[in-house]
Amino acid sequence: MSSDVTDSMPERGVISSISGRILQELHSSVNYVSAAIVSGVNTVWTLVVCFLIFFMQPGFALLEAGQVRAKNVANVLMKNLMDWGMGVLVFFVLGLGIYGLAGQLTTSGLALDVGAAFSYINDPSAWIGSYLFSAVFAMTAATIVSGAVAERIKFKAYIFYSIGLTAFIYPVIAGFAWGGNGLLSSAGFLGQAIGVGFQDFAGATVVHMLGGIAGLVGAYMVGPRKGRYDAEGNSQPIPGHSITLAVLGTFILAFGWYGFNVGTQAAVLSVSEGTLAFNGAALGRVALNTTLGMGGGAVAAALVTGWSDGKPDPLFTASGLLAGLVAVTGAVPHVTWYGGLILGIIGGAQAPIVFRWVTDTLKVDDVAAVFPVHGSAGAIGTLLIPVFAVDGFSATQLLMQAVSIAVIAVWTIVTTMLVFKLADVTQHRRHRRLDDRHDDAGVQARRRHRRAPSRRGRRGHRARPQRTRVHGVPRVRGHRRRRRRHGHQRGQCYGYRRQWGERR
């Protein structure tokens, strides 16, 4: 830039050349100052949006706490606390590195470089833009799942899954889609095969659909809450204890979502032709589409439930608002304003319908309607981006969207099943105490002691009937893990029988 200026300076004596040199220095210092301003403003903006996205965590916590029974609130909140508290540690030590590795491995021309992938750990300049900004998105994906499996999953099993998601399941997908390279980007294997990169601006698919599908798979694998379906398999609603908390959580979540969507437009200022440029138009489109999406979603869900149930359902309206947000999250910079509105309406309208389908047809007990709000809304919103694109419709882009959504869905289903299976092997997945004690009035007796093991032992662990007496001594029942815990060695099936609940 500065060389152009001096080249165009006519060489007319000493004074001109001196002034040329002064101009050149002036120009380069202006450029330097501009670059510093740009990076300063953009970094501060990124920090602010990180704080906003972090504020989605209390939103999720309240939303989920309101939708469960009073006796399980502490358990749900504990899961939300650990999603964030432990998640940020796991994501720092492992997650972001795997994010980098996933990109390297699936992009042509990039070699595997573990050192580069983990270089952020000792690089202060990467701690805001790379680590913190990625971490808040990862924790959002992680905490979505707890709403689906609430009230019955065992705490330890959930923590195990949460680590799996923040260390592996999410980082791989984020590495595929974001960061300039990776399988689904225009430089990745799939992107090159189809010819365009996958469009998902702030993570309708990468974050939300991933969390929603993981939640659905998790809820399927832990099974419904006791009493959720009667003997004929008909759905019996288990009302949450506070619609106030749920709606308050929804609004807090929507507030943080401005950071999620608008903040993904991380460049507020840029340097163009040596001058500062403000990206107001880009920011404006993102902010408007986010707002129209949530409005459309809430109104659509209210209308759909008003039409189907006789009165608008507050919880579905809240879900619709969030589903509208999810639907536009991937699309906000790419689509027209009416495109954003229509996506929001579709997202909100499908939430009650998909919830009924999940509940009545799949018989999956999705407590906080995680799949309709995050899963299906994210997939539909991302798929339809090319239909409402500012640049016009592109069949190639539509194909890439569909293929990418399928890749992410399959990855999420397979890895989630794997991690939950592992959690089941290492510890019993389902939480009995949370689930089993309630009466018809919803007045719950809190049982603080451990429940005695079932006389039948744990399901599925025994292929053939066992001898109940060996040498006339009652056999110790139960799985070998539990026998070990109670002081028995392999093959030693008699002797002192430790009672349940006794300490060693």
Partner 1 sequence: MTESDIELVIAVIRPDKLSEAKQALAEVGAPSLTVSDVSGRGSQPAMTEQWRGEEYTVDLHQKVKIEIVVADIDAEEVAEALSDAAHTGEPGDGKIFVVPVSEAYQIRTGETGIDAV
Q: How far apart are CA 296 and CA 328, in angstroms?
A: 10
375 scored as a contact of partner 1 (CB under 8 A): no
370 scored as a contact of partner 1 (CB under 8 A): no
237 scored as a contact of partner 1 (CB under 8 A): yes
Q: How far apart are CA 22 and CA 16, in angstroms?
A: 10
Return the structure tokens found at 307.
Answer: 């039409």
In whole angstroms, the minimum distance from the beta carbon of 316 to partner 1 comes to: 6
Tokens 């149930």 -> residue:
309
Residue (366 or 435) nearer to partner 1, CB: 366
**389: which residues sit within 8 A by CB, 6+ positions away?**
334, 335, 336, 339, 397
Is the torsion defined by CA of 392, 347, 259, 117 positive or negative? negative
153 scored as a contact of partner 1 (CB under 8 A): no
315 scored as a contact of partner 1 (CB under 8 A): yes
Residue (308 or 396) nearer to partner 1, CB: 308
Residue (261 or 305) nearer to partner 1, CB: 305
For 204, the 3-state DSSP assignment is helix
In whole angstroms, the minimum distance from the beta carbon of 313 to partner 1 comes to: 5
- The 271-310 site mask, x for binding partner 1 (CB under 8 A), equals ----------------------------------x--xx-
In whole angstroms, the minimum distance from the beta carbon of 237 to partner 1 comes to: 4
In whole angstroms, the minimum distance from the beta carbon of 63 to partner 1 comes to: 13
Kindly tell me which residue out of 54, 355, 388, 420 binds partner 1, with binding defined by CB under 8 A. Answer: 355
352 scored as a contact of partner 1 (CB under 8 A): yes
Residue (200 or 313) nearer to partner 1, CB: 313
Residue (311 or 448) nearer to partner 1, CB: 311
**CA quadruple 87, 93, 98, 101: dihedral, nearest 10:** 160
Within residues 67-106, the interface with partner 1 by CB under 8 A covers none
89-115: string of b/e by CB count within 10 Å (b at 16+)?
A: ebbbebbbbbbbbbbbbbbeeeeeeee
Residue type, 338: Y
Within residues 206-235, the interface with partner 1 by CB under 8 A covers 235
Residue (240 or 249) nearer to partner 1, CB: 240
Q: How far is CA 43 from CA 57, 127, 263, in A?
A: 22, 11, 11
In whole angstroms, the minimum distance from the beta carbon of 228 to partner 1 comes to: 11
CB-based contact 153:217 (threshold 8 Å): no
Binding region for partner 1 (CB under 8 A) out of 146-154, 175-183, 271-279, 350-358? 350-358
Binding region for partner 1 (CB under 8 A) out of 126-134, 146-154, 312-320, 418-426? 312-320
Return the structure tokens found at 303.
Answer: 């209308």
Tokens 């832990």 -> residue:
222
In whole angstroms, the minimum distance from the beta carbon of 441 to partner 1 comes to: 5
In whole angstroms, the minimum distance from the beta carbon of 356 to partner 1 comes to: 8
Q: How far apart are CA 159 and CA 430, in angstroms?
A: 13
The radius of gyration of the chain from alpha carbons, rounded to an integer in Å, stands at 27
For residue 335, the cross-strand partners are: 389
The vertex-493 CA angle with 492 and 495, nearest 5°, equals 90
Q: How far apart are CA 150 and CA 284, in angstroms?
A: 37
Q: How far apart are CA 368 and CA 72, in angstroms?
A: 14
Q: How far apart are CA 328 and CA 345, in angstroms?
A: 10
Residue (25 or 309) nearer to partner 1, CB: 309
Kindly tell me which residue out of 147, 240, 378, 381 binds partner 1, with binding defined by CB under 8 A. Answer: 240
Q: How far apart are CA 193 and CA 199, in angstroms?
A: 15
64 scored as a contact of partner 1 (CB under 8 A): no
In whole angstroms, the minimum distance from the beta carbon of 329 to partner 1 comes to: 23
Residue (356 or 450) nearer to partner 1, CB: 356
- The 316-335 site mask, x for binding partner 1 (CB under 8 A), equals x-------------------
Point out which residues bind partner 1 (CB under 8 A). Answer: 235-240, 305, 308-309, 311, 313, 315-316, 352, 355-356, 359, 369, 440-441
